[in-house]
Amino acid sequence: MNQKAIHVGCPCCNNKRLFDLSPDTKGEMEIKCPRCGKVISISVQNEEVHAEQLTLKAK
């Protein structure tokens, strides 16, 4: 069986390959995009990946 990696793109810039995710990864992680420097929150549920920018809201 071939498990193919899930390519996660950055939602903030056109970095299409921010991160490669193994299909059996579960849960949440944070990664900083090397291109735009934003911190991206990645969550995986039922093999669906959601990536969004973590916003540190000031007050």
- Residue 18 CB partners (closer than 8 Å, separation 6+): 8, 9, 10, 31, 33, 35, 40, 51
Q: Among residues 10 and 44, whose Cβ is nearest to Zn ion?
A: 10
Tell how many helices (H) and how many strands (E) occur in the chain.
Answer: 0, 5
Least gap, CB of 3 to Zn ion (angstroms): 26
Asked whether position 13 contacts Zn ion by CB under 5 A, the answer is yes
Asked whether position 39 contacts Zn ion by CB under 5 A, the answer is no
Q: Among residues 21 and 33, whose Cβ is nearest to Zn ion?
A: 33
Q: Among residues 26 and 32, whose Cβ is nearest to Zn ion?
A: 32
